[in-house]
Homo-oligomer: A and B are copies of this chain.
């Protein structure tokens, strides 16, 4: 580790002002913030970002999938791989102001600070805002970075039909963000993303900086249990084949197993349905989702296998039929150890405590990790709240995170 500090800091009030300004764009008359990908509101947010990129003296570029770039490079560096800072500015419905936006605007602020301080980077430094990270309007989520990293053809992504029946490519053209650059046109030297944690760990431990070393693998399944509907009053307990009760057993099994796991496994059942859904009828069918996550692929496979085994035992014991359907499966992502080390060193140099941690949520960084060394820096989220207007990170933490990003980027571009 060769990290050394610049004795330079970002312009905190300017960053906070930009976050608040972007957070005012795309609110409905009731005050709710919603900038779905390629919508009119997204256009307004993008226009503000482009204006700030130009105001910072950077070169603006847009690729075919609508990813926006602000590039700082000398004419001699045109073919050099840039250090890329990125995240997204699209939002969920009724969003907070930090998710994604903080990372993009802090990236812009870092480049501006370095430029204003007369720093001479050895390679280009750029900031990216990737299209449709949230995946609310078009599937899949993290689409812009996935296409940029070559994991999905731009043509296929542009043909995506939204929840409102719109076609992404047409919507990007309509709002003026169907760019001409080919996705992947700048292969990064390294990628760093600064993001709110969206979880409670840093706040609860009173640690301002998370050095994100990996990102959980995700296993999503839909489980369907078929029992027999019968009268709730006339069917003795031993004669029941109660699909709802069997579903409850699975939920408690998953909880007990995850809470006693030696790995940082998490398990969640977020959706459930009983049929026929009548107070006095034993459920004939229960359908529910299982979300398993683990930063280690072998451990995740072990959790999946344990669930399978339990379902087989349960089906025999309860006389029900159980089927599972795979909804999504992503392997864990391991971030670049050198960049993670730089994050820790930068925090230490600034007198900030840090913690190596796992990202429980998906981020553009996981796509970029396919094509270059990448890592994420986390700052605390109060109460872990996210995707919600109450999403909040204290201002000192926002500034501290951006300063750590500054140091890491300066080191990567030295």
Interface residues on A, range: 35 or more
Q: How far is the CA of A230 from the CA of B386 in the complex (A)?
A: 8
Q: Which residues of B contact A259 (CB under 8 A)?
A: 237-238
Partner of A255, one of B218, B233, B242, B280: B242
Q: Which residues of B contact A61 (CB under 8 A)?
A: none
Given contacts A270-B282, A283-B270, contact A197 B234 (CB under 8 A): yes
- Check: A251 CB closer than 8 A to any chain B CB: yes
What mask results when residues 260 to 298 of chain A are scored 1 for a CB within 8 Å of chain B, else 0?
010011111111111001111111000001010100000
A249 to B, closest residue via Cβ = B252
Question: Are A280 and B270 in contact, CB atoms less than 8 angstroms apart?
Answer: yes
Question: Are A237 and B266 in contact, CB atoms less than 8 angstroms apart?
Answer: yes
Question: Are B230 and A200 in contact, CB atoms less than 8 angstroms apart?
Answer: yes
Q: How far is the CA of A61 from the CA of B216 in the complex (A)?
A: 74
Given contacts A244-B251, A251-B244, A271-B277, contact A236 B201 (CB under 8 A): yes
Given contacts A238-B259, A360-B233, A384-B231, contact A268 B282 (CB under 8 A): yes
Question: Are A199 and B266 in contact, CB atoms less than 8 angstroms apart?
Answer: no
Q: How far is the CA of A261 from the CA of B247 in the complex (A)?
A: 22
Partner of A266, one of B232, B267, B278, B388: B232
Q: Which residues of chain A in 62-89 are interfacial with respect to chain B, using CB atoms and an 8 Å cutoff?
A: none
Q: How far is the CA of A280 from the CA of B266 in the complex (A)?
A: 11
A385 to B, closest residue via Cβ = B230
Given contacts A231-B387, A293-B233, contact A281 B274 (CB under 8 A): no
Q: Which residues of B contact A199 (CB under 8 A)?
A: 230-231, 233-236
Q: Which residues of chain A in 38-76 are interfacial with respect to chain B, using CB atoms and an 8 Å cutoff?
A: none
- Check: A245 CB closer than 8 A to any chain B CB: yes
Q: Which residues of B contact A218 (CB under 8 A)?
A: 233
Question: Are B291 and A280 in contact, CB atoms less than 8 angstroms apart?
Answer: yes
* Least Cβ–Cβ distance between A327 and chain B, in angstroms: 7
* Least Cβ–Cβ distance between A268 and chain B, in angstroms: 4
23 residue pairs A–B, Cβ–Cβ below 8 Å: A197-B234, A199-B233, A199-B234, A201-B236, A204-B239, A216-B233, A218-B233, A229-B388, A230-B385, A231-B384, A231-B387, A233-B266, A234-B361, A235-B266, A236-B264, A237-B259, A237-B261, A244-B251, A244-B270, A252-B252, A270-B278, A270-B281, A280-B291
Q: Which 3 A-B pairs have the closest CB atoms?
A: A199-B234, A233-B360, A234-B360
